[in-house]
């Protein structure tokens, strides 16, 4: 039987394997191919020094415009050892997951390396990163540019399951194959349950099974491009999701689950049903007793999410939720279209504290409309919510770097209204280095200053900050990158290591 090699490249989380492999393996197998997972990302995490892996990450995330020669050499050597060494007459396809914008640079390096080795195996790209635009793509979407450059044979834009099935059946006219005019799958119950057989779970730091209950989002936040892939929010039946969890526990022996959803509570009714069913199944089946799940979540008001919802989450095994708060300024959140108030945040935290549901808050520093007064609202909130950090209800606040403006997001289309100008000529500048004439004090140096001030206050107040050092080092790379480009508005940055 011929093979389909599914390749996972940086930059993705190294704690657990790709969800895409599990989702696509049933499609590959029913088309008379055997699937094999080649996770170059985890191999690099295991082999590289921390400094080298950080260098790879910063380059992948466009925090740095360059990558050290030794780092790139190590990466391509891993491609030789873990991918090219497997290529024989039985390998019919190489499928590369370009999960996001941050996988584009490593993918380009890999594709050019394969080209230099004169590899003729059919190469397929898929993933949300295909819609990205890079400096070298000349304003083309990344997937189209790779096709035009002859770096791949096929690219699947949008959702992959039905498109891959059609491609393997040689129906190359199916929407999304080699063109971005894809169609969203509205009935997710049509899609087969994932198959994670072949995964070496012991290679991962925190192995868990990825599971999908919905796609799309009920919000249309200005900084987010989710709606370009999934214009409509759709979800699977609660019964299907619980059944998948039960079968996965018995098949793989794992009890940790991570939802891939943009939000697990998009439909509160279906979410309540899921939690109720799962809690009941845990009562009946001893093998499910230790089942826990994590996922992304939206803050809602009490009328939409009464205490009963949080109670059901607790008994179903909700271990942690990641919530996009973005800003503690209501004015900023209103512009983002978050649609919840300060009172809603207070209610949410009170419920999570009562039902022991830890939160990771995702935050943005320097949103285009953010003023110094809005920044002060963030500072006041850190003092106000210290009690929830001390108790573990706020497990972590992730402030990231500073506000990025991605092409294709609503905020990028609002550039004229907000009088946003990007500074510099390369892509890292167009992402990080911008200024709004309506809010001219919100410059990149000021955004970095605010980010550092928030970091110092979190240290003072004792907030947990896993990974904070790497975030700060990445921001230093950003600062050094811009200060070295003769930008008179940005002072030279000196580093003592």
Cis amide linkage into residue 11, ω under 30° from 0: yes
Residue 497 confidence (pLDDT): 33
Contact 218, 266 (CB under 8 A): yes
What does the block give as tokens for 117? Answer: 């080795």
Q: Shortest CA distance to 9 belongs to which of 90, 112, 91? A: 112
What does the block give as tokens for 407? Answer: 């092409």
d(CA 13, CA 17): 8
The residues, any chain, with a CB within 8 Å of residue 187's CB and separated by 6 or more, are 234
Adjacent-strand bridge partners of 387 = none
pLDDT tens track for 328-342: 999 999 999 999 999
Per-state percent for the chain, helix, strand, coil, to nearest 5: 45, 15, 40
What does the block give as tokens for 246? Answer: 């039960």
Phi, psi of 346 (to 5 degrees): -60, -45
The residues, any chain, with a CB within 8 Å of residue 394's CB and separated by 6 or more, are 349, 358, 359, 361, 385, 388, 463
Adjacent-strand bridge partners of 359 = 321, 394
User: Which parts of the chain sit beneath pLDDT 70?
Assistant: 424-430, 481-497
pLDDT tens track for 290-306: 999 999 999 999 999 99
The residues, any chain, with a CB within 8 Å of residue 254's CB and separated by 6 or more, are 201, 207, 208, 209, 248
Residue whose token pair is 């030789």:
80
- Apex CA 214: angle with CA 296 and CA 323, to 5°? 15
What does the block give as tokens for 301? Answer: 């008001």
Contact 219, 261 (CB under 8 A): no
Q: Shortest CA distance to 337 belongs to which of 356, 321, 324, 347? A: 324
Distances in whole angstroms, Cα of residue 30 to Cα of each of 55, 93, 168, 446: 40, 15, 10, 55
Adjacent-strand bridge partners of 363 = 326
Residue 429 confidence (pLDDT): 39
What does the block give as tokens for 432? Answer: 């990080």
Contact 381, 346 (CB under 8 A): no
d(CA 184, CA 176): 10
Helices (H), 219-261: 226-229, 238-252
Q: Shortest CA distance to 6 belongs to which of 33, 30, 46? A: 33
The residues, any chain, with a CB within 8 Å of residue 480's CB and separated by 6 or more, are 493, 495
DSSP 91-142: EEEEEEE--SGGGHHHHHHHHHHHHHTT--SEEEEESGGGG---GGGTTS-H
d(CA 406, CA 56): 21
Question: What is the pTM assigned to this prediction?
Answer: 0.89
d(CA 142, CA 148): 10
Phi, psi of 496 (to 5 degrees): -95, 15
């Amino acid at each position: 039987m011929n093979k389909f090699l599914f390749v996972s490249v940086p930059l993705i989380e190294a704690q657990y394997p790709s969800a895409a492999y599990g989702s696509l393996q049933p499609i590959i197998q029913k088309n008379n191919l055997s699937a094999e997972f080649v996770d170059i990302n985890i191999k690099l995490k295991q082999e590289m020094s921390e400094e080298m892996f950080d260098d790879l990450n910063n380059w992948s995330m466009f925090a740095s415009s360059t990558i050290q020669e030794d780092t790139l050499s190590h990466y391509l050597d891993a491609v030789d050892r873990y991918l090219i060494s497997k290529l024989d007459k039985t390998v019919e396809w190489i499928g590369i997951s370009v999960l996001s914008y941050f996988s584009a640079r490593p993918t380009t390096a890999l594709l050019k390396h394969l080209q230099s080795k004169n590899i003729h195996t059919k190469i397929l790209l898929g993933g949300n990163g295909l819609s990205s635009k890079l400096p070298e793509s000349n304003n083309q979407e990344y997937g189209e540019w790779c096709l035009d450059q002859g770096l791949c044979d096929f690219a699947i834009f949008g959702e992959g399951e039905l498109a891959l099935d059609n491609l393997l059946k040689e129906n190359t006219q199916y929407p999304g194959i080699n063109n971005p005019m894809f169609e969203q799958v509205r009935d997710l119950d049509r899609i087969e349950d994932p198959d994670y057989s072949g995964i070496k779970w012991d290679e991962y730091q925190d192995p868990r099974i990825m599971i999908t209950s919905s796609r799309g989002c009920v919000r249309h936040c200005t900084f987010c491009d989710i709606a370009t892939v999934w214009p409509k929010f759709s979800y699977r039946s609660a019964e299907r999701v619980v059944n998948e969890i039960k079968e996965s526990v018995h098949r793989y022996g794992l009890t940790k689950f991570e939802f891939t959803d943009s939000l697990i509570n998009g439909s509160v009714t279906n979410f309540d049903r899921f939690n109720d069913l799962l809690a009941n199944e845990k009562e009946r089946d001893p093998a499910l007793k230790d089942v826990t799940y994590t996922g992304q979540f939206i803050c809602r008001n009490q009328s939409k999410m009464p205490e009963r919802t949080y109670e059901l989450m607790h008994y179903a095994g909700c271990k942690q939720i990641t919530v996009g708060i973005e800003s503690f300024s209501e004015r900023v959140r209103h512009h983002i279209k978050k649609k919840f108030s300060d009172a809603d945040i207070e209610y949410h935290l009170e419920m999570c504290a009562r039902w022991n549901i830890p939160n990771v808050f995702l935050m943005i520093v320097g949103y285009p409309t953010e003023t110094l007064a809005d920044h002060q609202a963030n500072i006041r909130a850190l003092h106000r919510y210290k009690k929830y950090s001390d108790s573990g209800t706020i497990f972590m606040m992730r402030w990231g770097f500073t506000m990025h403006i991605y092409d294709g997001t609503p905020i990028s289309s609002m550039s004229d209204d907000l009088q946003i100008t990007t500074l510099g000529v390369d892509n890292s500048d167009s992402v990080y280095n911008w200024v709004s004439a309506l809010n001219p004090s919100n410059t990149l140096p000021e955004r970095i200053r605010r980010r550092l001030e928030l970091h110092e206050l979190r240290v003072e107040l004792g907030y947990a900050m896993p990974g904070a050092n790497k975030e700060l080092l990445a921001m230093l790379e950003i600062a050094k990158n811009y200060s070295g480009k003769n930008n008179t508005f940005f002072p030279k940055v000196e580093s003592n290591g």
